[in-house]
Amino acid sequence: MTNAHPGLGTRLRRLIELLDGGVSVAHDYAAIDYRPRYTPVMRALAGGRALTIGEIAQAAGLTQPAATQTVALMARAGLVRVTASREDARRRAVRLAPAGLRLMPRLEAAWDATDRAAEALDAELAHPLSVAVDEALAALERKPFAHRIAESAAPPGGTTKPAPRPRRRAPPAR
pLDDT reading at 119 higher than 90: yes
Cα separation, 65 vs 54, in Å, equals 9
In this structure, which amino acid lies at residue 123? A
Neighbours of 92 (CB within 10 A): 17
Planar angle of CA 97, 100, 106, nearest 5 degrees: 160
119 within 8 A of 100, measured Cβ to Cβ? no
User: pTM for the full model?
Assistant: 0.72
What mean pLDDT is predicted for residues 156-166? 61
Angstrom distance (rounded) from CA 27 to CA 40: 15
Other CB atoms within 10 A of residue 53 CB: 21
Q: Does domain 29-103 fall into CATH 3.40.50.620?
A: no
Q: How confident is the model at residue 5 (pLDDT cuts 50, 70, 90)?
A: confident
Average pLDDT estimate for 5-30:
87
More confident residue, 13 or 27: 13
Q: Across all residues in the chain, what is the average pLDDT?
A: 87
How confident is the model over 59-114, as pLDDT tens digits?
999 999 999 999 999 999 999 999 987 777 778 899 999 999 999 998 898 889 99
Average pLDDT over residues 103-126: 93
The single-letter code of the amino acid at 115 is D
Neighbour count for residue 98 (Cβ, 10 Å)? 10
- 171 secondary structure, DSSP code: P
pLDDT at 147 over 80: yes
Instruction: Render pLDDT for 37-63 as a digit per residue (tens, 0 to 9).
Output: 899 999 999 998 999 999 999 999 999
Q: What is the pLDDT of residue 174?
A: 47
Compute the average pLDDT of residues 148-157.
Answer: 83
- Radius of gyration of the chain, Cα coordinates, nearest whole angstrom: 20
Task: Report whether pLDDT(149) > 60.
Answer: yes
b/e code 124-136 from CB counts within 10 Å (16+ = b): eeeeeeeeeeeee
- Helix H, strand E, coil C: the string for 39-98 is HHHHHHHCCCCCEEHHHHHHHHCCCHHHHHHHHHHHHHCCCEEEEECCCCCCCEEEEECH
Q: What is the pLDDT of residue 166?
A: 60
CA 138 to chain CA mean position, Å:
15
Q: What is the structure's pLDDT at 169?
A: 58
